[in-house]
Amino acid sequence: MPDTVPPRRTDSGEQRPDPAKAEPPKPEPFRCDGVAAAAPDLLPLGQSPAPVDLGRYLDAAATSPPAAEVFAAMAAQAGAAWANPSSLHGPGLAAAELLERSRIRVAANLGAEPSQLIFCSGGSEAIHLALLGSAALLQPGRLLVSAVEHPATLAAAAQLQRQGWQVEMLPVNRLGLVDPQLLAERLVPPTRLVSLIWGQSEVGTLQPLASLGALCRNAGVRLHVDAVQVVGHLPLNLAQLPVDLLSCTAHKLQGPRGVGVLALAPGLALAPLIGGGSQEGGRRGGTEPVLLAHGFATALDLATARLTAAAGQDPVAELRDELWQRLCRLEGLRLSGPSLGGTGQRLPHHLSLLVSSDDGRPLPGRALVRALARRGWAVSSGSACSSAVSTARAGGAGAGAVPAGGASPILLAMGYSEVEASSGLRLSLGPWLKPEDLEPFPADLDRARRELQAALA
Ligand SMILES: Cc1ncc(COP(=O)(O)O)c(C=O)c1O
């Protein structure tokens, strides 16, 4: 039997909300120097950081640098499409025209009709709208989520639990995969909603969506899919997927930050979370982010062109595979999540590792991230969400210190021990990287690992 949702920590070690008990988060007092206060490693406001060397940026799953074409496309329209697209005058109509053109382009890339899309602020909002907006039109029942969901899904689930929904977490296996048999068994009343992360951000697992979605559809249960890590990396045709709602965001595919899309199956009804306006077909109030939507459409066009030119394969996979070929020869590194290659079970731009000392002791991934950052590399120990804030809360743990509660809840859910689950390292690549950029990485990682091993000996 699947568990009810246990207390969870975020990838950065914070306590995740237990939907049964969680109180709405208490707002922290606002300070105008709040950024620096929350994350002491950040520069004081007003000081510029050193320019980022994109050839050393291996953290695409956290966010990706906007493509030059995206900046250019947005800049080209900034002077013409600044107005409120609901206004009936010339400037308003120009903005509305750009918004609707962007919608058409995004829809074409996703295999949807423009009317199926709701522009919103990003993946987290899309997920909340999908789950809370669906639940508002349903009798409270049971929501099924996997044990490896993004914190945004868990937060929305926690809200539903406070509204009288049962939330049940489907366990995953060592690769992060949901058991289809178990899902099928739980697709009985009172299950009314399912939410699954298609591409897991920390360990790269791709759920077999066609078969899981077919189970939901046959049972008449509404399925939401968090496709934030998938869109732009796999060809997607929503019209052929057994999915009712799909969330995605622009910033993971070299688009701008602050814009996402919730795509709905044709005719699916949804209650808005934000009222007060008839924008987005009455499903999301608020003046639309016209230029951001244009940037999103441009980034998606680029991603689709890359996939099409490579017969549906993300060309970055080749770079990722070559990197792993070199890394797997080093001591103390092994893969977490699905293997690379033909099975189609892993995000194509994604590598997740478990790092240990020469004698097999797991080493703290976050300390390794810092050691690599000192060498100019941008990598991650898990999902980026809130890691800066929780590091600050943990007192800015430095190299050699295992931050309190550093274990990844995702790795724990996959059956790793607490100490193994603190040793994750995520490398996620993007089209800005060239093979020569990655040349020095294995040696730097090896040095960083040895340095850490010596510090902890
Ligand atoms: C799988 C997944 N879902 C949702 C989100 C949230 O997306 P956003 O940052 O656009 O709110 C992220 C971002 O890290 C993610 O990786």
Q: CA angle, 237 as apex, 231 and 242 as ends, to 5°?
A: 100
DSSP string, 62-93: T--PPPHHHHHHHHHHHTTS-S-TT--SHHHH
Ligand 1 centre and the CA of 385: distance in Å?
8
Which amino acid makes up residue 376? G
- Atom index in ligand 1 nearest the CA of residue 124 equals 11
Catalytic annotation on 385? yes
Residue nearest ligand 1's atom 14 by CA: 62
CA distance 327 to 440: 11
Mean pLDDT of 109-125: 98
- Atom index in ligand 1 nearest the CA of residue 249 equals 10
Helix, strand, or coil here: 102?
A: helix
| Numbers of helices and strands, H then E, in the chain | 15, 13
- Summarised one tens digit per residue, pLDDT across range 234-245 is 999 999 999 999
Residue nearest ligand 1's atom 8 by CA: 123
What domains lie within the chain, and their CATH numbers? 52-65+313-456 (3.90.1150.10), 67-307 (3.40.640.10)
Mean pLDDT of 345-369: 96
Residue nearest ligand 1's atom 4 by CA: 123
- Atom index in ligand 1 nearest the CA of residue 226 equals 3
Residue 341: which pLDDT band, with cuts at 50, 70 and 90?
confident
- Summarised one tens digit per residue, pLDDT across range 393-444 is 232 222 223 334 589 999 999 999 999 999 999 999 999 999 999 999 999 9
Beta strands in 5-85 (DSSP E): 8-9, 15-16
CA distance 126 to 25: 20
Helix, strand, or coil here: 307?
A: helix
pLDDT at 457: 85
- Atom index in ligand 1 nearest the CA of residue 199 equals 1
Residue nearest ligand 1's atom 16 by CA: 201
Full-model pTM = 0.88
Ligand 1 centre and the CA of 123: distance in Å?
5
**CA atoms 284, 288, 289, 293: torsion sign:** positive
Ligand 1 neighbours, Cβ below 6 Å, are 122-124, 150, 152, 197, 201, 226, 228-229, 249, 251, 260, 383-385
CA distance 223 to 287: 28
Ligand 1 centre and the CA of 447: distance in Å?
31
Structure tokens at 283: 């499903």
pLDDT at 179: 98
Residue nearest ligand 1's atom 5 by CA: 123
What is the average pLDDT score of the chain?
88
CA distance 212 to 216: 7
List CB contacts of 238: < 8 A, sequence separation 6 or more: 110, 111, 112, 116, 246, 263, 265
Structure tokens at 345: 């079970």
Structure tokens at 239: 């019209």
Ligand 1 centre and the CA of 206: distance in Å?
15
Ligand 1 centre and the CA of 453: distance in Å?
32
List CB contacts of 255: < 8 A, sequence separation 6 or more: 66, 67, 70, 292, 295, 296, 298, 299, 300
